[in-house]
């Protein structure tokens, strides 16, 4: 049984209602700026990951087999999978960041990301309250 193919109209009618949008409140502006920075930092971490993985692999000759198994391999896996390394693993890095500029750069971006996340957490409530207030004003 052959069903007829659906037909699409050559044009579309879109109906909109334009409402004046008030300027965003300060909590919302600061929150959005921090979110934008977080997005940039996440992209940087993702961009640094392949080179860091290669550098960690190539660093094998510079440390003991035990250090490689206990620290470097789990760190390399975490970086490759985009996961946060365990705090104990980061404390055990010893002199590895001094030997690997890729690791230093990745750690610096990661630290900045943690700072932004720490600043974002308490800002969520005020930003949402301000956005809800703006929306309520539009709905009146």
CA distances from 41 to 55, 84, 103, 115, 121 (A): 20, 14, 15, 11, 16
Tell me the C-alpha distance between 88 and 128, whole Å.
35
The answer to whether residue 13 sits within a structural domain is no
Is 11 a domain residue?
Answer: no
Confidence at residue 51, expressed as pLDDT on a 0 to 100 scale: 96
The answer to pTM > 0.85 is no
**Rg from Cα positions in the chain:** 24
pLDDT at 105: 97
Q: How many domains does the chain fold into?
A: 1
Sign of the alpha-carbon torsion through 33, 36, 42, 43? negative
In a domain, 2, yes or no: no
Q: What is the pLDDT along the chain (140 residues), one digit of tens a residue?
A: 566 665 655 666 666 667 677 777 888 888 989 999 999 999 999 999 999 999 999 999 888 999 999 999 999 999 999 999 999 999 999 899 999 999 999 999 999 999 999 999 999 899 989 888 888 887 77
Residue 85: give the domain boundaries. 26-139
> How much is the pLDDT for 24?
78
pLDDT at 7: 61
For 45, 81, 99, 109, 117, the CA distances from 84, given in Å and listed in that order, are 11, 9, 21, 13, 13
What pLDDT was estimated at residue 97?
94
In a domain, 20, yes or no: no
**Residue 51 falls inside a structural domain:** yes
Q: How many CB atoms lie within 10 A of CB 52?
A: 23
Any domain includes 4: no
21 within some domain: no
In angstroms, the CA 31 to CA 129 distance is 12
Examine residue 93 and state whether it is found in any structural domain, yes or no: yes
């Amino acid at each position: 049984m052959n069903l007829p193919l659906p037909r699409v109209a050559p044009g579309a009618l879109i109906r909109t209602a334009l409402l004046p949008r008030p300027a965003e409140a300060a909590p919302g502006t600061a929150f959005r700026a921090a979110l934008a920075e977080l997005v940039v930092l996440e992209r940087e971490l993702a961009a640094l990951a392949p080179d860091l993985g290669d550098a960690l692999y190539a660093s094998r000759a510079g440390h003991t087999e035990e250090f490689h198994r206990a620290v470097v391999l789990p760190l390399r896996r975490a970086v490759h999978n985009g996961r946060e390394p365990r705090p104990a693993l980061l404390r055990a890095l010893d002199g590895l960041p001094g030997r690997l500029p890729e690791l230093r750069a990745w750690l610096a971006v990661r630290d900045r990301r943690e700072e932004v996340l720490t600043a974002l957490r308490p800002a969520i409530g005020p930003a949402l309250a301000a956005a809800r207030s703006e929306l309520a004003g539009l709905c009146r």
